[in-house]
Structure 1
Amino acid sequence: MNSRAYIESGILELYVFGKLSEEEIAEVNQMAAQYPEVKEEIKAIENAVINLSYSVAPHLSATNFEKIRAELLGRNKVVTMKPRSNWSQYTGWVAAAVLVVGFGLQFYKLNQTNETLNTVSTQKDLLQESVVDLELKKKESEEVLAILRDTSNVAIALAGQQVAPEAFAKAYYNKTTKTVYIDASGLPEPPKGMVYQVWSLQLEPVLTPTSIGLLDSYTTSTTKVIKVDNTDSPQAFGITLEPAGGSASPTLEQLYTLGKV
């Protein structure tokens, strides 16, 4: 076998790592003595192993590294490697380093994937919330349109009173179903702890107010058109500002709007 074929056979790597028998080691030493290129190849493999082992072995002190380096590189002859030498632990370090790097890369990719999934999930949740919100607004708007288009509903304008001259509202009353909707969009936002209360009024023979509900959904309603309780044959509607929970009788000093049917 010529020197080039011998180098390419892979036996020199096994020689450096101490994986050959005594007979095989003797054969390599003989080839190294006979062929300078074989000897140079062995030195190149030893240099590569030293540099790689030092870079991945955190417990190899600088002193020990220099001893090994001097042992391998400070000689003019090829170092005779014994079977099962300490080089096997360096190859173990190399394998461990490769494993750690590989595991770290996979862990990083897994984290990146999880972050991407979390972002997509969050965006999906936000999109679903937006869709639900739009559906609710659409439904509420459709209900308002149905009220406005229902020819059975009578629209009663409720004008602002002394406490709030610029306020206004509108009541939609259905004489057949007795249902009442209040458009409160012209009322100012009630102060904290206060709520608007709607009254069905009988004017004759004596003023008789009957509460038909609170506009407690004023702050959450998009259209500000709010359904209250049914009432029978009202002569007028009024809206007062009352403490949260409502009052048994209207506070006339806080009468915001009033209108006759």
Structure 2
Amino acid sequence: MDIKEYISSGIIEAYVMGFASEEEISILDCVRKNNPEVQQAIIDAQETLEDFATREAIAPPPALKSVIWAKISNENQEQPITAAQQPETIATPLYPTQSIDNSKATLKWFAAAASILLVASVSFNFYLNHNKNSINAQLAALSQNQKTTDLAYQNLKSKWDMANNPEIRTIPLLGVEKHPDMKAMVYFEKKSNAVYLTLENLPLAPEDQQYQLWAIVEGKPVSLGVYDQNSEKAMQQMIAVNAAQAFAITLEKRGGVASPTMENMYVMGKV
């Protein structure tokens, strides 16, 4: 299990807010016992929720207190008692204690209900905010996947167009003895002598090195430039050449060299 992915999945926030299922809670309880990082993430989420509740708490309107006490006062007003109704031996209590007790109970109930509603509102807002972030992350991932798919299609289409153009000659460069499974392709335009290169399965070059394309002209190597593996274009135009007898690729220091390093040759192909 990748702990960082598990923590960022949203399960901890759902657990803290009480939205997690019994199965999710059971798994989380098992994981937190053996992983301090998960336990700390739970504590952080709890503190975040408490801070959010404190920050977003809304004070009641100033007039609410007056309204509540006015209601209590009205309920406590004594009804007029006639002589015929007044008991002879029972003294009327100085304060209506029963009425005040009922009013206090009612007030406590309203306070408890308000607290519950506040906590529920904060939790729901926190949950919605988490879902929003999750959806934004998913949209970003989908957008990146779409971009990658579009780029792969464009690169494939470029190869297809080159291979099916009668004015362009396709020259496969195959791996030499030290790199037998390597392969690259050169597309040579007959009229303009333009050269295009794709690295089919050559490994990624180190940061301080680049693949360099060479043309063999009258038995001598001529540099046609270096291939930029940081470019989004798989097919790159190189330096034009006339009357090439063969092409080869070597791995050289970044920026290229004046003459090829023969022991670093990867592929070669005759025209």
- Range class of TM-score, shorter chain: 0.5 to 0.7
Bigger-Rg structure (1/2):
1
The alpha carbon displacement at 1:152 in A equals 0.9
| Cα deviation, residue 113, structure 1 | 2.0
1:125 corresponds to which residue? 140
Q: Which residue of 2 aligns with 1:197?
A: 212
8 A contact 1:17–1:85 mirrored in 2: no
In the alignment, structure 1 residue 240 sits paired with structure 2 residue 250: yes
Q: For 1:150-165, what aligned pairs fall within 5 Å after superposition?
A: 150-165=165-180
Specify the alignment match of 2:223 in structure 1: 211
- Over the matched positions of the two proteins, sequence identity in percent amounts to 25
In structure 2, how many angstroms separate the alpha carbons of the residues matched to 1:242 and 1:159?
Answer: 18
Rounded to whole Å, the distance in 2 between the matches of 1:81 and 1:128 is 72
1:109 maps to 124
Work out the CA distance in 1 between the residues paired with 2:203 and 2:119: 61
Q: CA RMSD in A?
A: 3.7
Task: Give the match for residue 259 of structure 1.
Answer: 269
Distance 1:243 1:89, change over 3 A: same
Q: In structure 1, what is the Cα distance between the partners aligned to 2:145 and 2:71?
A: 70
Query: What are structure 1's unaligned runs of at least 5 residues?
Result: 1-13, 34-76
Q: Choose from 230, 234, 237 the match for 2:239.
A: 230
**Structure 1 position 136, deviation (Å):** 1.3
Q: 2:151, 2:181 → 1: CA distance?
A: 30
| Counterpart residue type for residue 238 of structure 2 | D
Native 8 Å contact 1:157 1:259 kept in 2: yes
Q: TM-score, normalised by structure 2?
A: 0.58
**How much has 1:239 moved relative to structure 2?**
0.9
The answer to whether the 8 Å contact 1:194/1:242 transfers is yes
Contact 1:195 1:241 in 2 (8 A): yes
Structure 1 pair 168–253 and aligned structure 2 pair: CA distance change class (3 A): same
Partners of 1:229 and 1:80 lie apart in 2 by 105
Q: What CA distance in whole angstroms lies between the structure 1 residues aligned with 2:261 and 2:151?
A: 34
SS in 2 for 1:108: helix
Q: How far is the alpha carbon of 1:18 from its aligned partner?
A: 7.4
SS in 1 for 2:242: coil
Amino acid at match of 2:162: I
In 2, Cα distance between the equivalents of 1:186 and 1:105?
57
Structure 1 residue matching 2:114: 3-state secondary structure: helix
1:249 match: 259
In structure 2, the CA distance between the partners of 1:15 and 1:83, relative to structure 1 (3 Å rule), is farther
Where do 5+ consecutive residues of structure 2 fail to align?
1-69
CA drift of 1:202 comes to 1.3
Give the AA of the match of 1:142: K
Instruction: State the Cα deviation string for residues 175-220 of structure 1 (Å, max 9, x = none).
Output: 223322223225355456432110123125xx2x332222331x87
The normalised TM-score by structure 1 is 0.60
Quote how far apart the aligned CAs of 1:118 are: 2.3
Residue 25 of structure 1 deviates from its aligned partner by: 6.8
Local SS of the residue matching 1:19: helix
